[in-house]
Structure 1
Amino acid sequence: MTERPRIEVTIAAPIDEVWRALREKDRIRHWHGWDAPGLDDEIDLIYFQGFAEDAQARTLGVQEGDHIVLEPAGEGTKVTLTRAPRGVSPEWDAYYDDITEGWATFLQQLRFHVERQPDAPRRTAFFAGTTAGAPPLVTELGLDEVATRPAGSAYRATLAGQHVGGEVWFRSSHQLGLTVDAWGEGLLVVAFMPPGEQKPDGAAMAVLSTFGLDEAAYAELNERWAAWWGPRYPAPAEPIPGTEA
């Protein structure tokens, strides 16, 4: 039997607080996905339709068998998500790895929400594109050295023309997360997949979570990133699966 992928995140907050962030729609909007017209419908579909919840045990089963468990970890909470087996939903098997990477992003955004921005509304910018013939996204952003530092390390960098600082939030095989002071202590998550057999065009993604920016500052950020992103990682002919949130 193929081993089911597991994603583990430890959050510096009591288990009851993390559970509320998983079960209250207004809180889920602060960390799941990114701003898009279909976000509320997606939240309802994943977390409140066809789910299996044991509130006392702090476990939650969602969408075709993905299983989330919360456990005390010292003064914090360990969140473990175990993916459903391949074959449970054959029509989604082609996107199995994309969904796994999506969960890795969302759980880190959950941790950031609970630990850093539990009350502030977020506003996001989202970019996705293909990678054929393009350098790795971390390299193109000038973050190769930053990406070697352990989580919690301070950094300074220039992101799409803006001088910023913060700390390394997380690093995985295909993703890098950084807090960004200039975005109201926001969060940047970037992901990069080179072209391969299942993804002939590859895939790149960036989620920019911002807090407290006024309309002019948010518009400037979005426009600057769009101008930087488009020539490097052009949009695919069809939407990249998992980027519709």
Structure 2
Amino acid sequence: MNDVQATDTPRLEIRVATTVGAAWRALRDKDVIRQWHAWQSGELEAELDSIYFTDVVEDEANHTLVPNGGDKFEIKEDGDGVRIILTRAPLSGDAEWDAYYDDVTEGWTSFLHQLRFALERKPGETRRTLFFGNRGTYSGTVVERLALDGVGEPGSRYTATLAGEAVEGEVWFRSEHQLGVTVDAWGEGLLVIAGTGPSATDPSGTSMALLSTYGLDEDGYSLLDKRWSQWWSENTGK
């Protein structure tokens, strides 16, 4: 059982307008977890089983959870909402695995903001996702090429043309390497552009686009996939 307690490692925190009970269910109910963790793929179910339900340390009374891997979740009351805190596990000492430590941290940043979105905007709703990734183009470059670099602060409205589609929505969050915006046309969906900055292992940086959609019919979803597949290929090289 992995009960590593992380110290002096990245600490990610979000405030969510929800209850402690709802936030705890979002960490312990697989039907809820799959609506915010990562994206739909053939490996998602196995990933959820491995992270959240295999060799975990769970303290329901104090609302803390150490998933398989050693990262630690804490849920704390905060006025009329909660704070969800994720403290990363220390480096493992395995150079091959530790090379992806920053990528995993950025992934958790994206997923926590998807968690807040699911709890605040889409409780009980089912998402349908698209994912695109590139290890040779920095996420900030993708934001610029989407002409989203000039959007305002979180909570402000924006309009843009994304992959040939005129859209509008709200700026959801910003961080050093990430931008999240809601997209009204996707059933008030969520677009997250994320990645890692240039480094010795990735001199060009990395990027991914994660699109969460709600209620699109098959034609609408297929058209969105086609538009983004073409845009991503033309603008990131993959």
TM-score by length of 1: 0.90
Question: Unaligned regions of 5+ residues in structure 1, if any?
Answer: 236-245
**Contact 1:14–1:76 at 8 Å: present in 2 too?**
yes
Asked if residue 181 in structure 1 is aligned to residue 184 in structure 2, the reply is yes
Aligned to 2:154: 151
CA shift digits 1:184-241 (9 cap, x unpaired): 0000000143543121342110000000000000000001000000122234xxxxxx
How far off is 1:90 after superposition? Answer: 5.1
RMSD: 1.9
CA shift digits 1:158-181 (9 cap, x unpaired): 111111111110000000000000
CA shift digits 1:6-25 (9 cap, x unpaired): 00000000111111111000
> Would you say how many aligned residue pairs link Structure 1 and Structure 2?
233
> What pairs up with 1:1-245 in 2 under 5 angstroms?
3-87=8-92, 91-132=96-137, 136-146=141-151, 149-235=152-238
Aligned to 1:242: none
CA shift digits 1:78-116 (9 cap, x unpaired): 000000011366542111101100100111000000000
Single out whichever of 129-138 and 24-33 deviates more from structure 2: 129-138
- Sequence identity of aligned pairs in percent? 50
Task: Go from structure 1 to structure 2 and tell me whether the alpha carbon gap of 1:218 and 1:83 turns closer, same or farther (over 3 Å shift).
Answer: same
**Contact 1:67–1:81 at 8 Å: present in 2 too?**
yes
Task: Go from structure 1 to structure 2 and tell me whether the alpha carbon gap of 1:36 and 1:25 turns closer, same or farther (over 3 Å shift).
Answer: same
Q: 2-side partners of 1:231 and 1:55: how far apart?
A: 48
**Contact 2:106–2:196 at 8 Å: present in 1 too?**
no
Question: Unaligned regions of 5+ residues in structure 2, if any?
Answer: 1-5
Q: For residue 197 of structure 1, give the secondary structure of its aligned residue in structure 2.
A: coil
Task: Go from structure 1 to structure 2 and tell me whether the alpha carbon gap of 1:222 and 1:15 turns closer, same or farther (over 3 Å shift).
Answer: same
**Contact 2:139–2:208 at 8 Å: present in 1 too?**
no
Task: Go from structure 1 to structure 2 and tell me whether the alpha carbon gap of 1:126 and 1:133 turns closer, same or farther (over 3 Å shift).
Answer: closer
How far off is 1:130 after superposition? Answer: 3.3
Q: 1-side partners of 2:73 and 2:28: how far apart?
A: 12
Task: Go from structure 1 to structure 2 and tell me whether the alpha carbon gap of 1:134 and 1:46 turns closer, same or farther (over 3 Å shift).
Answer: closer
Segments of 4+ moved more than 4 angstroms:
88-91, 132-135
Q: 1-side partners of 2:17 and 2:138: how far apart?
A: 40
